[in-house]
Amino acid sequence: MLRLDEVLRAYLHGYFPMADPDDEKVYWCQPHRRAIVPLRNYKTSRVVRSLVRKGVFDVYFNRDFGRVIRSCAAPREEESQTWISEEIIAIYTELHEQGFAHSVECYRGDELAGGLYGLAIGGAFFGESMFYTVSNASKVAFDILVKHLEKKGYELLDAQIMNPHLEFLGAVEVEHAEYMRQLELALQKKIRFI
């Protein structure tokens, strides 16, 4: 079983846990190239800007972390499996209870329409996963997260492994050594997420 101190220590050294979709065994990931979102260069898309301006979604932090992580763990339409196992859910729930893991949630009325969760340590936020049931809800949650991190003075938004969706959101890839340099600087800051 994963331990809280073990997971926190891993993040400080550039690792993060994932579960094998076939047997749910947890392994440690440290990509050679890391996806990060440069906070100062982030540009909100026209669609998201319009949705935020119109108040289409009510956005909250940490209102229902459990539902967010379970929604992220549900297999996507294009994928029949997930890397978020019960063990991953359990440790991140514990991290949430200890004030390290956080969720950003978009609601439309009483319906949870999308969101994301991640881990905050020092001046670094490690984005873990996002989901949506209503189009663009996760993009709005991400937009609100970026603005929140920038306002609070965060230095690093780690998006872990590049994919087309992250690239659309403004992520870039950096070599491992550069990632560790940015991580070290970010960890020197003392910031409360909320």
Tokens coding 185: 């600087």
**Alpha carbons 129 and 146: distance in angstroms, whole number:** 14
Handedness of CA 22, 24, 26, 28 (dihedral sign): positive
Q: What is the pLDDT of residue 80?
A: 64
> Which stretches of the chain score pLDDT less than 70?
77-80
pTM of the model: 0.95
Strand order in the sheet with 33-36: 58-61, 101-108, 111-121, 124-132, 156-160, 33-36, 172-175
**Alpha carbons 118 and 125: distance in angstroms, whole number:** 7
Q: What is the pLDDT of residue 40?
A: 86
Q: What is the pLDDT of residue 41?
A: 81
Nearest CA to 17 out of 175, 128, 116 is that of 128
Question: Is residue 120 packed enough to be buried (19+ CB in 10 Å), middle (13-18) or exposed (0-12)?
Answer: buried
